[in-house]
Amino acid sequence: MKKRILCILLSLLMVLSLVPAGALAQEEETPVSYDNCAAGEAIVCMEKASPLSRSAVPSLLAGAEVLMDISEAPAAGARSLSADAGGQVLALVRDENRSTEELIAELNTYPQVAFAEPNYAISPITDEASVPAAVEESPAPETAVPAESNTAAAAPAAEAAQAAPAAKAPGAVNTADIMTNYQWAYDNTGNYFSSLPGFDMHYDGWNQASGTSGSDDVVIAVLDTGVDAKNPDLENKMWSRGGLNLPGGEHGINYGGYTDEQMADTSDPNGHGTHCAGIIGAEWGNGGVSGTSQNAKIMALRYGSFISTVLACYDYMASAIDLDVNLKAVNCSFTSSGSPKSLDLAVEKLGKMGLVSVYGSANSAADNDKTGILSSTFIDNPYAVVVDAANAYGQMALYSCYGQRTTDIVAPGSRILSTWPTDKAFYYPEFSNSNLFYEGFENADSLKFYTDADPAKGKECGEITGEKVYNGQKSLKLQGTAEGNTVYSQPVDLTQASGFDPSAAYRFSLSIAGAEKNGNGQADIKVRLTDGTFAPLNNDAEDSFARGRDGGFNGLNAGAYQALPANTDYQNFQLCLTLKGINMVFPNGHGEYVYQDNPVYIDNLGVGSETLPYNYSDGTSMATPMITGAVAVLAERYQEDTAAKRAARTIGSVTKYDKFKDKCVSDGFIDLSQAATDNPYPVVNAAAITDDTVTIDGYFFGKNPAVTIGGKAAQIQSNETTENGGQRLVVSRPADVSGMARVSVTSSEKGEGHQSYDFGAIKDVAYFENTLPLPEDAAFYDTEAYQMVGYGDYLYCIPHFYNLPEIVTMLWRFNVNTQTWDQVALPEDAPMINATAVVWQDKLLIYSHDIGTVGTILTYDGSTWTQTPGFSNEELPSSATLVNNDGQLLAVGGASSNAVYAIDLDNHTLPPMGNTLRTARGTLVSAGHGQLIVSGGLEAGNQNGTLPGVERLTLDNGVFTAAKLDMTGIKTGNLSGFASAAVKDGFMLVGPETDTGSTDTYTLGASGNLTPYEKRVDNAALANPSAAAYKGQFYVLARTYTTDSNFIFKSTAVQTEDPVTPDTPVTPDNNGDGNANNVGTGIAGMMPIASAAVLLLCAAGIMVLVMKRRNKMQS
């Protein structure tokens, strides 16, 4: 699907993320590294050097490692007249004597280089890794709580040794069930998980030997953590290299390795790639799970730590295609801490060679149209498909990102059972024929639970119900509470069970779910030991829990966590479960578990020793291979489709549901029925807009389509077939269509498909009256976001903290009188990436927290720079924002800090003056009228946008007190940031629009809340906005989705006040009665200086991914 480029993206962590099996999945999580780009390395897009010109190539480029030849892709705009002479390559440049920032700065001076960017770190997309400690929510006093919840305090008593009560004999165990019955994505009968019957992929031939036809050599690449080729459902489905002249191993290559032996090892130490591979192509009818495609062969591509290894994998795929490997799609369930243009070019080149790239939308529950994420890099790329996730109940998954314009289709993503590494196997009582004990709560004699370890002293609790079940007809409903409701099972004598072996290593498993279709629940698990105490499974209290998410049932997170302690009392086997209701929310781009009073359901309890290499996982990481598998099916059904047409056919082959309306381009859920794929919905890829006509490109428009634009009929002037199998319609532009308008094409054969585009100013809507010029130099757009500061005749654009922009040695500035741009050189030894600035004592004062200027304050008087030493990161928080509050210099927030400090430059002291409500880097702060307005910033763990909401800090007796502003009536989302500036009568703010869409700009008085302003900045959503009120104008510079540069710069007339510059600066001693010294600092722990610059540049989960715009600006 042909898309426009979306520039602002935040990375990881799943962060997808797209969930690997750990967080939203059952797996051991890999620790997150905060060093998320390779030191002293950069990816460059550069010209090929001809033999005659090689001597003129700088030494850095001459020694570059070529990753991929992209000569067939459009030139990326190298700054050279001969850029197209020899084509372009993507290459890795290393220089261990330079920092990454210094290296990129050097490379960007070379005329042969189109762009240079960090070698970003990558990882599987996970949600759980970004989930902070859960927050307990106390129940309201009037809340009625069932009787058993009142005994939660009995839990500590259970830690003491107790005499075992009488144990009952174990009952009959189950007969092993069939795994494919639990694969709801293909055949949702409603018999499992209490799911929604019929909500599935409508793949009637799935798992039937005659269910599909065509060639058996369709190859699908899994670009991930590797694939365990020993899994019984994958060992016969792996692609083999044979005699082809390709590096690596028999089934693919490992670019995380260095030696030939390592590069040949495509096994999976994580599990994520194996799970994705099984969803795509697990062998049918083999006694385990079955994949989407019967015939697909799996090519295992294992990436390393950085994006350069992903590019190398793309180059490997290009080589394989050149050798006639029938490679049709690549599954990409990973993310990056940057927005690499290089990857976009790689996807385009491979697309022209016949490959569809499938990416997940991410797991931060955010609107990607407003915030962006790695997958939105491909909004203008017709060879990529971006996938959202749904659960088995017909709901968009709680964690899934979405986007009316930037994501394409919804697929099954929650409670997905698939293959897993053989050395990380799980115990599943429902699939075992050798359980010692099994309980499904199907009858009145089922296992009982009590409020005390001694049933005689406690009350029986729980209710056998059919409201929600894992399997069978019944489960046990118990009360979960915020603080944890502890219950005990009646003891069972497992020594009487058939086959009991006192020397065996047994495991325990249970399945738990929360209430409703998106509910969550948790059970902390302990078992009775022979000494009468209770201990956690695997003797590990931290991991001895099962947590059901997104309405579904779930067990423990890893097979190893299921292990029963060696001294478990099997003669009096007894469980101690502490049950908690959970509400999972995503306020700042990462999940938070809020414990609360909610019912939970437990089912499928078992004790046994048999393990199987399969696993349940949740996430867009799981939805993505569902679509990749669908692409494989379509590649067999429609072998003449180009990659662009196959991508469009995938997007158009849906069942439309109201739940998904305006959540993605297709409004629908993948439908693999032959009728749906033979006749897809129209897919609109692009619209070229003039005053009189609109030219629409896309697929499946039909013979006699109808077109509306903004709901108005558009007359078709011509209908042509394009060379790539698509259609091009030229239609008359309807009168009075303006703003973001939907271009809708309806085929008489199927129905309607659409995409939205900007048709200009809306009638009767007032806009900022001044659309201001932007620099012609593409280097301006390499910085993700700026802070604007008025000084003299200029607005200075300070590279602000939104992550991974280019290193700068020059500051851009805009002359407010002549409306022209120029640059000011920084001191030679003071380049910077992220900084903050303020006017102080009639000078521009800049604090930079990166590169060689860590802790250094620079001052500029309009002609000369002066460095003020003495502040280090240990004193002035890294990434703090400077502000002039009526003559007092303040530092607000910063890395690991929510403090407000007064800055005494003479004595180098930082007396605390209060706290904000957010611990964030690079907040946007405006000061005036004795108040601070704080917004935006990046918080550790948030994935793809700035923090939402606005705080007002009021100075009272020398201390700033923070309060949130009411956002009622404003579409804040969870990652939508504001920017503000002080004006004469209060403040002006810009950011998310109102619920009615009337404006994106607001006024704020000295009291009260935000009031919608009479004008708006733009039709499209604003991302990473910055604002300044200066010399009678309110200026806004922001990212947007509707311009070639992806920036807008506008202003409107307002009454402004000049900053206060007193002859005698206010010091902390002049404030109030000195109580400021008693305020807590809010510091959560400072980072070591040696790692500060790298951490600030690369921290996973808080990065805004940068899209290079040099190409657009030079074309």
Active site residues: 224, 272, 621
Answer for the pair 8, 803: CB distance below 8 angstroms, yes or no: no
Q: How far apart are the first and last CA of the chain?
A: 23
Instruction: From 149, 198, 227, select the one nearest 392 (Cα to Cα).
Output: 198
Give bridge partners of residue 741 from the DSSP assignment. Answer: 757
Residues 6 or more apart whose CB falls under 8 angstroms from that of 221 comprise: 252, 298, 299, 300, 301, 313, 317, 327, 329, 330, 331
The whole-angstrom separation of Cα 904 and Cα 1065 is 9
Give bridge partners of residue 836 from the DSSP assignment. Answer: 847
Outline where DSSP puts E strands in 126-208.
135-136
Instruction: From 685, 652, 627, select the one nearest 293 (Cα to Cα).
Output: 627
Per-residue 3-state assignment (H helix, E strand, C coil) for 116-147: EEEEEEEEECCCHHHCCCCEECCCCCCCCCCH
Give bridge partners of residue 956 from the DSSP assignment. Answer: 959
What is the β-pairing status of strands 297-302 and 252-254? parallel
Tell me which amino acid residue 1017 is: V
- Ramachandran quadrant class, 365 (left: phi over 0; alpha: psi -120 to 50; beta: rest): left
For 423-461, letters b (16+ CB in 10 Å) and e give ebbbbbbbbbeebbbbbbbbeeebbebbbbbebeebeeb
The whole-angstrom separation of Cα 352 and Cα 633 is 20
What is the β-pairing status of strands 986-990 and 668-670? unpaired
Query: Measured between alpha carbons, how far is residue 356 from residues 277, 723, 743 in Å?
Result: 16, 18, 25
Answer for the pair 876, 882: CB distance below 8 angstroms, yes or no: no
Tell me which amino acid residue 463 is: E
Burial class (CB in 10 A: 0-12, 13-18, 19+), 505: exposed
Question: At how many degrees (to 10) do helices 620-637 and 643-652 cross?
Answer: 120
Answer for the pair 17, 130: CB distance below 8 angstroms, yes or no: yes
The whole-angstrom separation of Cα 784 and Cα 117 is 13
Residue 368, number of CB atoms within 10 A of its CB = 28
The whole-angstrom separation of Cα 133 and Cα 77 is 46
The whole-angstrom separation of Cα 961 and Cα 793 is 35
Per-residue 3-state assignment (H helix, E strand, C coil) for 848-878: ECCHHHCCEEEEECCCCEEEECCCCCCCCCC
Burial class (CB in 10 A: 0-12, 13-18, 19+), 984: exposed
The whole-angstrom separation of Cα 1020 and Cα 1041 is 7
Answer for the pair 420, 614: CB distance below 8 angstroms, yes or no: yes
Instruction: Classify 62 as helix, strand or coil.
Output: helix
- Ramachandran quadrant class, 494 (left: phi over 0; alpha: psi -120 to 50; beta: rest): alpha
Answer for the pair 879, 787: CB distance below 8 angstroms, yes or no: no
Q: Find the angle CA(308)-CA(311)-CA(317) to the nearest 5 degrees.
A: 145
Instruction: From 684, 848, 820, select the one nearest 755 (Cα to Cα).
Output: 684
Instruction: From 398, 397, 377, select the one nearest 386 (Cα to Cα).
Output: 377
The whole-angstrom separation of Cα 604 and Cα 476 is 10
